[in-house]
Amino acid sequence: MDIYDDIRKGERGAWISITAYLLLSAFKLFSGYWFASSALLADGFNNLTDIVASVAVLVGLRISQKPPDSNHAYGHLRAETIAALVASFIMAMVGIQVIITAVESLFAGQKGTPDVISAGVALVCAAAMGGVYWYNRNLARRINNQALMAAAKDNLSDALVSVGAAVGIIGAQFGLPWLDGAAAIAVGILICKTAWDIFRDATHNLTDGFDEGELSDLKRMIARTEGVESIRDLKARVHGNHVLVDVVIEVAPELTVIQGHAISDRVEEQMRKVKNVMHVHVHVEPSSDGI
């Protein structure tokens, strides 16, 4: 199967996010002006900035599909990880802005009371964005796409912002305007936490970090391969949504080159049974026990 098939599926999720943000931001801005809801207006403008994050993810997915060239022997698959990193920066800025705005609103005190219908608008938009999150999250898990998962988490944060706006609008109806600021601060902190999680995972992959548990699983699989006496060294790194493996194995020293090569082929075959392992480099050494 073409290794870029999953990335093209990820593009569909990015386009869905962009379309949803365009439609919902227009709906929120119109409703915010019509029903005199500053919370809904702020939510609408927040969605406009989130379009940038989705576009960054889309651009990263497009670049990652470029074939290998003289400067990128393994292709451009890491562009999707960089896209996730960019999305985390944008989410962090949005989260910080939400917190700052919320704190300012708490000190500013109560302003006008918005129409309660605007709370319904916010909840409808939250449900719609929740649906986009659910779709993108499931698709990202299925194709193991880090950039699309970042976009999905951005979708979830926006759904929570809309819920926070609804809480503030409803609180204003009962003379509790502080609920708006309190809900917004909680949502802002959650957005920043999500941005940090995405940033941590992206930088871990970009610096060739690899999960120790997964590496142990690969090691056990290689050790069970016929002809492998021991494993001298094993490394793995994430390249986009794929894995590159480098392993040094020890075999019986009396084997011929052809026999050693056959063992190497068996190791590669075993590794390619693991989902998303794109490239395996096997180096064969004579076993020190037999020398």
Which SS3 state, helix, strand or coil, does residue 131 take? helix
Facing residues of 236 across strands?
245
Give me the mean pLDDT over the 49-67 stretch. Answer: 84
Is residue 274 pLDDT above 60, yes or no? Answer: yes
Nearest to 79 by CA among 96, 56, 60, 54: 60
Rounded distance between C-alpha atoms, residue 121 and residue 99, angstroms: 22
Q: How confident is the model at residue 69 (pLDDT cuts 50, 70, 90)?
A: confident
**52-83: b or e for each residue (b if 16 or more CB lie within 10 Å)?**
bbbbbbbbbbbbbbeeeeeeeeebbbbbbbbb
Q: How confident is residue 235, by pLDDT bands cut at 50, 70 and 90?
A: very high
Model confidence at 133, in pLDDT bands (50, 70, 90)?
very high
CB within 8 Å of 130: residues ≥ 6 apart = 155, 156, 159
Distance CA 216, CA 242 (A): 17
Q: Where are the beta strands (DSSP E) in the chain?
A: 230-239, 242-251, 277-286
Domains in the chain, CATH or no CATH each: 5-206 (1.20.1510.10), 212-290 (3.30.70.1350)
Angstrom distances, CA of residue 214 to CA of 123, 209, 217, 275? 41, 12, 5, 12
pLDDT in tens, 7-25: 788 888 889 989 998 998 8
CA–CA dist 179, 165 (Å, integer)? 9
